[in-house]
Chain A
Amino acid sequence: MDNNALEWFLAGLLGALISSAEIISRYRDEPEYALRTWPSLFYLLLNALASIVALAFIRLFGWTFGLSDPATVGWVQAGVAGIGAMAILRASLFSVRLDNQTVPVGLGRFLDVLLESVDRAVDRKRAEERGKTVSDIMKNVDFEKAYVALPAYCLALLQNLPQDDQDQLGKKVGLLFNSQGISPRVKSMLLGIALMNLVGENVLRAAVKNINQDIEENPAATTSQESK
């Protein structure tokens, strides 16, 4: 492969690498999955293409950045195109006011829409996994027995959860308690989701295990299953 082709490749690669770093930093817990989603691949491709187009413009206008050695100029142009295109893509051209809010208009908005698609894809996967985990942990928990005891026990294990968070959890539990049209099983799962978001999977699992005699629908059955 000659140098010229490598320079075009470098510009595209820089664009893709910088945008992949953006996605990785956004989804620290699921970087591999986030990079494999379709919106994410399209996002990388778009950034790579932008860098290649930027290199084409730089060469069209003959920008040499004060350098005279043709070999060096080629690599510098590729580097500037790779990084510069990112800035152009993320810039807003002007702002408009809609519903008393200032909305920036530019290519950056298009990128935001793509990133939101990646958000949704990753959220769907997280929701699926969280649903399975909560369903497993809370499968035998009786909401009526657990709605005060389990959160209080989790909070005691965790220690020093901010009072605002405790207050919000209390209100969620109150809402669940008074909600009709939701089966007790689903109420237990929603209680589990609210708790897992605050205290994490391990604390929730440990808490359910420790006080299962007091909060499970049929503790005797569970105990006999465990002993087998």
Chain B
Amino acid sequence: MESKDQQSDDFGTFLQSVQRAVKTDEELKSSSTLRIMSMLSKIGEVELVQLMTVVEMQWDDFSQGINSLQSAGLVQMAETGKGGRIKLTSDGLNWVNALTASDDKDE
């Protein structure tokens, strides 16, 4: 008899995750994640508090944006005494590069 707790599946986890993410991020101000990523690509690794002051966002949007980016593997946090340092992952950097390249083409 097959166990109901099987760890492997072909794409079931993806489908559940994308459905959850679409609903969860629905209320997230859509451009906030882009602003965070674009700022991180300019300033590199930075303290979370410092990032918040430069992106000029509401705390809720900022916090939710960071959480979404972190769980999607686009930013990476390291614990420090001041609340944590944050930087783009290589995936995040690829995204920002693609976005910048498309902006350049559009211009």
- Tell me if B98 and A174 are in contact (CB < 8 A): no
Interface hits, B1-53 → A, CB 8 Å: 7-11, 13-22, 24-26, 28, 30-31, 33-34
Give the distance to chain A from B78, nearest Cβ to Cβ, in Å: 8
Contact flags A175-203 to B (C-beta < 8 A → 1, else 0): 10111111101100110011001000000
Known contacts A172-B73, A182-B34: A151-B14 contact under CB 8 Å: yes
Per the CB 8 Å criterion, the residue count for chain B at the interface is 43
- Tell me if B13 and A152 are in contact (CB < 8 A): no
- Tell me if B34 and A155 are in contact (CB < 8 A): no
- Tell me if B102 and A170 are in contact (CB < 8 A): no
- Tell me if A170 and B98 are in contact (CB < 8 A): no
Q: Is B80 an interface residue (CB 8 A)?
A: yes
Known contacts A99-B80, A147-B18: A186-B13 contact under CB 8 Å: no
Q: Who on chain B is nearest to A127 by CB? A: B97
| Of B10, B15, B21, B82, the contact of A175 (CB 8 Å cutoff) | B21
A-B contact pairs, 10 of them (CB 8 A): A99-B82, A127-B94, A127-B97, A131-B98, A155-B10, A169-B18, A170-B18, A173-B18, A174-B17, A181-B31
Known: A163-B7, A168-B17, A172-B72. 17 other contacts (CB 8 A): A99-B81, A99-B82, A99-B85, A101-B80, A148-B18, A152-B15, A167-B13, A168-B73, A170-B15, A171-B18, A171-B21, A171-B73, A175-B69, A175-B72, A177-B22, A179-B31, A193-B91
